[in-house]
Amino acid sequence: MPVVRQAPADKYDERRNQLAESALRTLGELGYARTSLREIAANSEFSHGVVHYYFDDKLELIVYCVRYYKARCVSRYDEVIASSTTADELVEGFAAKLVETISDEAPMHRLWYDLRTQSMFEASLREAVTMIDKTLEEMIWRVVRRYSELSGVPAGRTPAAAYGLLDGIFQQALLGHLTGRAGALADLADQVRELMPFLLEPAAGPAAQDQTRMRLPSGSAR
């Protein structure tokens, strides 16, 4: 039964969020595979039975968590975007923020990668994951668009490509950081500095054969 509440219409949602936060803490610590509902409840101030009062299912809780998690990160770089007045400043601020979020919120990030990978196996996770992935892509694209404006050069990559490339080096840095590799975060900043200009470059013709890159008016590939 959906439980009809009278006065406290949002007390219900508040509890759901409270549980979601405990769940995210636990999932970030243990990962999807090793997290049980009892462990989540133990990390909250409630007992294990309460989960089924607020969520039908373990999967509904997890999906709710993923969506709840999204709300935190959509605007992570928007301040950098707004405050930067030059392209250099934007790149440096962006790189610094990427590094910062890895060292501050590593458990959340590894959880995101865990859940995204789980969605490759569990079809019921795909909808929520696809939605967040889209949101993250847009978040990155706002950075690229602003970078393009400040540089006076139109963007040369698609939003998907920009996100894929940045996500790759981000994930690598996260893994390196968690594995204890010393230079992981500094390398990420360097790689971002080198990558950003490429996101503006127009697509090269059929493989650059010579040093001086050709400039095609419109991408021949795509």
Instruction: Enumerate binding residues for a second copy (CB under 8 A).
Output: 30-34, 86-88, 91, 110, 113-114, 116-122, 126, 130, 133, 151-153, 157-158, 160-161, 163-175, 178-179, 187, 190-191, 193-198, 200-201, 203-204, 206-211, 213, 221-222
List Cβ neighbours of 54 (8 Å cut-off, separation of 6 or more): 12, 15, 16, 19
Measured N-to-C along each axis, helices 87-118 and 126-151 cross at an angle, to the nearest 10 degrees, of 170
- Smallest gap, in angstroms, from Cβ of residue 80 to DNA? 38
Rounded to a whole number of angstroms, the minimum distance from the CB of residue 69 to DNA is 18
In whole angstroms, give the CA distance from residue 93 to residue 86: 11
Which does residue 197 touch among DNA, a second copy, none (CB within 5 to 8 A, set by kind)? a second copy
Nearer to DNA (CB atom), residue 46 or residue 169: 46
Residue closer to a second copy (CB basis): 42 or 204 = 204
Rg (CA), the chain: 21
Q: Considering only residues 26-85, where is the footprint of DNA by CB under 7 A?
A: 34-39, 45-54, 56-59
CA 27, CA 19: separation in Å to the nearest integer?
A: 12
Contact call for residues 65 and 27 (beta carbons, < 8 A): yes
Q: Is 3 in the site for DNA (CB under 7 A)?
A: yes
Residue placing its CB nearer to DNA in the complex, 52 or 215: 52
Which one, 6 or 209, has the nearer CB to a second copy?
209
**Cα atoms in the Cβ-side hemisphere of radius 13 Å centred on 120:** 5
Helix (H, G, I), strand (E, B) or coil at 217: coil
Stretch of residues binding DNA (CB under 7 A), selected from 4-12, 83-91, 126-134, 179-187: 4-12
Encoded tokens for 20? 């979601």
Residue 15 interacts with, from DNA, a second copy, none (CB under 5-8 Å by kind): DNA
Query: Which residues contact residue 42 at a Cβ distance below 8 angstroms, ignoring those fewer than 6 apart?
Result: 48
Contacts for 183 with CB less than 8 Å, ≥ 6 apart: 176
Rule CB under 7 A: which residues touch DNA? 3-8, 11-12, 15, 34-39, 45-54, 56-59
